[in-house]
Amino acid sequence: ITPESNTRFGSTMSSQGAYAQGYGAQSYGGSYQAPTGTPSYQGEKKTRDNAVYITGLAQEVTEENLEEVFGAIGRIKPDRKTGKPAITLYRDKQTNRFKGEAMIAYDDPPAANAAIEWFNDKEIFGQKVNVEFATYFEKPGGGYRGGG
């Protein structure tokens, strides 16, 4: 039996080596098709009105640099665990190298809005940056599940 002629489980192998139909596909309505768009487990995309997401930052930028520059607009919210300003520098998971992206959370929404108006499309530390409201995915079915 060659892979091309193997039809034992109602499936045939294409020339690319992938099955055109999976096991029992005929009784389940055909072949598998990958979902598109936002995965449903991530929930609805929401905007954080008190936080900004910054892209295009120079590799040398530190949390202290961002605190100095973006703190001039308004009070940066303290992190609950560390007490330090809520500034997140995003790093590549494999190399741990700074990706040039950061998020800063302010105490109040008007400060975040002012940071966008003041810094978006401007040069900071030698790089033109993009500043916008930070977004997140709300977990589906959220809410408090109290016990009794």
pLDDT tens per residue, range 53-91: 999 999 999 999 999 999 999 999 999 999 999 999 999
pLDDT number for residue 142: 55
Mean pLDDT of 78-105: 95
Dist CA 56 CA 101 (whole Å):
7
Instruction: Compare 141 and 135 and report the one with higher pLDDT.
Output: 135
Q: Which two tokens stand for residue 139?
A: 């977990």
Mean pLDDT of 3-10: 40
Is it the case that residue 18 has pLDDT exceeding 70?
A: no
- Long-range pairs for 37-40 at CB < 8 Å and ≥24 separation? 38/137, 40/140
DSSP strands (E only) in the chain: 45-55, 87-91, 98-105, 123-124, 127-128, 130-137
